[in-house]
Structure 1
Amino acid sequence: MQHHHHKKRFSLLALLLAGIASLSSCEKFIDVVPDNVPTIDNAFSIRTEAEKYLFTCYSYLPAEGNYGGNPAYGAGDETWQDESFKTIDASPMQIALGLQTAGSPLMAYWQPMYAGIRDCNIFLENVDKVVDLEPYMHSRWIGEVIFLKAYYHWQLLKLYGPIHIVDKNLPTDVSADQVKIPRMPVDTVVNYIAGLLDSAARLLPPTIQARTTELGRITAPIALAVKARLLVTAASPLFNGNADYTGFKNQDGTLLFNTTYNKQKWVRAAAACKAAIDAAHAAGIQLYKFNNSIANLSDAMKIEMSIRNAVCEKWNEELIWGSSNSRTDQYMQRLACPKLDPARLGNQDPLGQMAPTLKIVEQFYSKNGVPIEEDKTYDYANRYTLRTVAPEEGEKMQVGYETAVLNFDREPRFYADVAFDGAKWYMQNGTWNIQSRWGQNQSQKNVFGFSVTGYFTKKIVSWKFVINEGQSTSTEEYPFPIFRLADLYLLYAEALNEAEGPANADILTYVNLIRARAGLKSVQEAWGQFSNNPSKYTSQEGLRAIIQQERLIEMGFEASRFWDLRRWKRAIEEQNKPVQGWDIAQAAPAAYYRVKTLWDQRFQVRDYLWPIKSGDILVNPKLVQNPGW
Structure 2
Amino acid sequence: MKIDKFIYFFSLAIAVFIVSCDSDFLDKQPDDMLTLDQVFKTRRYTEQYLANVYSYIPDEANGDRVNLTPASDEAKFSEQGVPGFQINIGNWGPTSSVPYGCWNSMYRGIRSASVFINRVDECEEITPDLRTRYKSEARFLRAYFYFLLLRQYGPLVLLPEVIPVDAEPAEIMLPRSTYDDCVRYIANELDEALQGLPDRVTDLNQLGRPDQLTALALKSRLLLYAASDMFNGNTEYAAFKNGDGTQLINQAYDVNKWQLAAEAAKAVIDRMPDGLLIKYDSEGELDPVNSYRDIYLDKWNKEVIWAYSAGKEGWEAQTWEYNGMLVQVNGYANYGVTQQQVDAFFMENGHRPILGYQADGEPIINPESGYIESGVHRDATEYTPAGVWNMYVGRDPRFYATVTFNGSEWLWHGTDGKSNYYAEFFATGKDGIQGGARGQNPTWTGYVIRKYSGPNSNRVNFTYLSSPSWILFRLGEMYLNYVEALNEYAPGHPDILKYLNLIRYRAGIPGYGEGTLAIPGSQEEMRALIRAERRVELVFESHRVFDTRRWKIAPETDGGAIYGMDRNAGTSLADPTFYKRTVVENRVFEFKHYLWPIEQDELDRNRLLVQNPGW
TM-score, normalization: structure 2? 0.89
Contact 1:572 1:603 in 2 (8 A): yes
1:168 maps to what in 2?
Answer: 161
Aligned length: 577
Query: Judging changes above 3 Å, is the alpha-carbon distance between structure 1 residues 483 and 326 closer, same or farther for their aligned structure 2 residues?
Result: farther
Q: Which of residues 546, 551, 563 in structure 2 aligns to 1:580?
A: 563
1:474 maps to what in 2?
Answer: 464
Whether 1:372 and 2:353 are equivalent positions in the alignment is: yes
Whether 1:45 and 2:41 are equivalent positions in the alignment is: yes
Q: Give the residue type in structure 2 aligned to 1:97.
A: I
- Secondary structure of 1:86 counterpart: coil
Query: How far does residue 92 in structure 1 lie from its aligned partner after superposition?
Result: 2.3
Whether 1:491 and 2:472 are equivalent positions in the alignment is: no
2:427 maps to what in 1?
Answer: 438
- Aligned residues: CA RMSD: 2.3
Contact 2:336 2:448 in 1 (8 A): yes
Whether 1:55 and 2:51 are equivalent positions in the alignment is: yes
1:198 maps to what in 2?
Answer: 191
**Partners in 2 of 1:477 and 1:95 — Cα distance?**
30
Contact 2:22 2:108 in 1 (8 A): no
2:5 maps to what in 1?
Answer: none
Contact 1:161 1:186 in 2 (8 A): yes
Query: Judging changes above 3 Å, is the alpha-carbon distance between structure 1 residues 23 and 402 closer, same or farther for their aligned structure 2 residues?
Result: closer
1:558 maps to what in 2?
Answer: 541
**Partners in 1 of 2:270 and 2:175 — Cα distance?**
38
5 Å matches for 1:178-193? Answer: 178-193=171-186
Whether 1:456 and 2:443 are equivalent positions in the alignment is: no
Query: How far does residue 427 in structure 1 lie from its aligned partner after superposition?
Result: 3.8
Q: Which of residues 406, 415, 438 in structure 1 aligns to 2:391?
A: 406
Contact 2:396 2:509 in 1 (8 A): yes
Query: How far does residue 71 in structure 1 lie from its aligned partner after superposition?
Result: 4.5
Query: Judging changes above 3 Å, is the alpha-carbon distance between structure 1 residues 139 and 222 closer, same or farther for their aligned structure 2 residues?
Result: same
**Partners in 2 of 1:43 and 1:23 — Cα distance?**
16
- Secondary structure of 2:253 counterpart: coil
Identity of aligned residues (%): 33
- Secondary structure of 1:438 counterpart: coil
**Partners in 1 of 2:30 and 2:270 — Cα distance?**
41
Query: How far does residue 299 in structure 1 lie from its aligned partner after superposition?
Result: 4.8
Query: Judging changes above 3 Å, is the alpha-carbon distance between structure 1 residues 379 and 524 closer, same or farther for their aligned structure 2 residues?
Result: closer
**Partners in 1 of 2:190 and 2:34 — Cα distance?**
31
Query: Judging changes above 3 Å, is the alpha-carbon distance between structure 1 residues 563 and 170 closer, same or farther for their aligned structure 2 residues?
Result: same
**Partners in 2 of 1:202 and 1:544 — Cα distance?**
35
Deviations 1:537-586 (A, max 9, x none): 12111111111100110001222111111111111111123111111122
Whether 1:547 and 2:543 are equivalent positions in the alignment is: no
Whether 1:147 and 2:154 are equivalent positions in the alignment is: no
Query: How far does residue 467 in structure 1 lie from its aligned partner after superposition?
Result: 2.6
**Partners in 1 of 2:587 and 2:445 — Cα distance?**
15
Contact 1:352 1:450 in 2 (8 A): yes
1:5 maps to what in 2?
Answer: none
Query: Judging changes above 3 Å, is the alpha-carbon distance between structure 1 residues 32 and 386 closer, same or farther for their aligned structure 2 residues?
Result: farther
TM-score, normalization: structure 1? 0.87
Q: Give the residue type in structure 1 aligned to 2:610.
A: V
Query: How far does residue 279 in structure 1 lie from its aligned partner after superposition?
Result: 2.9
2:304 maps to what in 1?
Answer: 319
**Partners in 1 of 2:22 and 2:424 — Cα distance?**
51
Contact 2:351 2:369 in 1 (8 A): no
Contact 2:28 2:169 in 1 (8 A): no
Whether 1:363 and 2:363 are equivalent positions in the alignment is: no
Contact 1:71 1:92 in 2 (8 A): no
Contact 2:39 2:45 in 1 (8 A): yes
Of residues 442-451 and 157-166 in structure 1, the stretch that sits farther from structure 2 once superposed is 442-451
Q: Give the residue type in structure 2 aligned to 1:455.
A: Y
Structure whose residues are more often helix by fraction: 1
1:396 maps to what in 2?
Answer: 383
Query: How far does residue 195 in structure 1 lie from its aligned partner after superposition?
Result: 0.3
1:525 maps to what in 2?
Answer: 514
**Partners in 2 of 1:76 and 1:577 — Cα distance?**
12
Query: How far does residue 270 in structure 1 lie from its aligned partner after superposition?
Result: 0.8
**Partners in 2 of 1:583 and 1:186 — Cα distance?**
44
- Secondary structure of 1:156 counterpart: helix
Q: Mind listing any 5+ residue stretches in structure 1 that lack a counterpart?
A: 1-11, 340-344
Contact 2:344 2:354 in 1 (8 A): no
- Secondary structure of 1:456 counterpart: strand
- Secondary structure of 1:511 counterpart: helix
Contact 2:561 2:583 in 1 (8 A): yes
Contact 1:45 1:130 in 2 (8 A): yes
Query: How far does residue 209 in structure 1 lie from its aligned partner after superposition?
Result: 3.6
2:276 maps to what in 1?
Answer: 287
Q: Mind listing any 5+ residue stretches in structure 2 that lack a counterpart?
A: 1-10, 356-365
Q: Which of residues 327, 331, 340 in structure 2 aligns to 1:350?
A: 331
Query: Judging changes above 3 Å, is the alpha-carbon distance between structure 1 residues 207 and 146 closer, same or farther for their aligned structure 2 residues?
Result: same
